[in-house]
Amino acid sequence: MAEAPNFQNEMRLLLRERVIETARRIVCTEGWGAVNMSRVAKEVGVSRPVLYKEIGKREDLAEVVIRQEVDTFLVGIAASLAAHPDDVLAGLTSAVDYTLRTGADNILLKAVLSGRSATDTELLPTLMTEPEPVLGRAITAVTAAVRAQYGLTGVSDAELGSRAETVVRLALSHLFQPTGPLEGAVDQIDLVVVSLFEPLLAR
C-alpha cells in the first residue's frame, strides 16, 4: 500500500517555494535592498516567526534564493553535456556557452549586478566568493556530471575535480565580470578546456 503523503511536509515545501518566488520577484524588480523579512512574510501570508523558523535570517534567505538559481543553471549544464555524449571537450564548451548566455539573460543576476543601492551589493560576496551556495555547489555538480556522462575511468576524482574547478572558476569570472563579447570568453575558456582535458583522453 502506498504511503500517504505527509501533509505537513508538503505545506513546508509550498511555503519555501512561495518565499523564494516572492524574494526573487522583489530582487528582480526593486533590488536586494528592498528585501526584508517582514515584507516577505506579509506578501507570502505568514507571520515573521514562521518565516524565521522555516528560512532563518535575511542572509539565509539570500542563500536559498541563490541556491535555487544555481540549480537551474546546473540542470542546463547537464543537458549541454548530454548533447555531446561522446565528446567531453565539445560538451564542456557547450556547457560554458550555455552558462554565459543564460547568465547574460538572467533577470536575478542582472538585478544584483545593477547595484540599485549599496545594500544590493550584499549579495555579490555570496554569488562570487562563498563556497556555498555557488562555487562549491557548481564544482561538485559539474564534476559529477562529467564523470556520469563521460566515465573517464582512468582519471582520479581529485584530478577530475581540480580540472572541473578551473573551468567553473573561469566561467564564473567571465559571468560576473565580462570584459568583452561572449563569444570571445567562450573561445578563451575553450582553450583551457582543451589543455586540461585533452591529455586525459589519451590515457
pLDDT in tens, 136-153: 888 999 999 999 999 998
The DSSP string of 57-99 is: SHHHHHHHHHHHHHHHHHHHHHHHHHTSTT-HHHHHHHHHHHH
Q: Is 95 part of a structural domain of the chain? A: yes
Is omega for the bond preceding 49 within 30 degrees of 0, making it cis?
no
- The position carrying cell 557547450 is 94
pLDDT band per the 50, 70, 90 thresholds, residue 19: very high
User: Which triple of cell numbers denotes residue 170?
Assistant: 573561469
CATH number of the domain at 111, please.
1.10.357
Q: Is 27 part of a structural domain of the chain? A: no
Tally of domains in the chain: 1
Question: Over pLDDT 90: what percentage of the chain?
Answer: 56
Instruction: Kindly list the distances between the CA atom of residue 184 and the CA atoms of 20, 84, 109, 174, 181, in Å, as whole numbers in the listed order.
Output: 34, 21, 21, 10, 5
Rounded to two decimals, what is the model's pTM? 0.79
Structural domain harbouring 140? 63-201
Q: Is 81 part of a structural domain of the chain? A: yes
Q: Is 114 part of a structural domain of the chain? A: yes
CA-to-CA distance for 21 and 123, rounded, in angstroms? 17
Q: Is 169 part of a structural domain of the chain? A: yes
Q: Is 176 part of a structural domain of the chain? A: yes
Is residue 123's pLDDT more than 70? Answer: no
Is residue 127's pLDDT more than 80? Answer: no
Mean pLDDT of the chain: 87
Average pLDDT over residues 88-117: 84
Average pLDDT over residues 117-137: 60
Give the per-residue pLDDT at 43.
Answer: 96
Give the per-residue pLDDT at 88.
Answer: 96
Is residue 14's pLDDT more than 60? Answer: yes
Q: Is 31 part of a structural domain of the chain? A: no
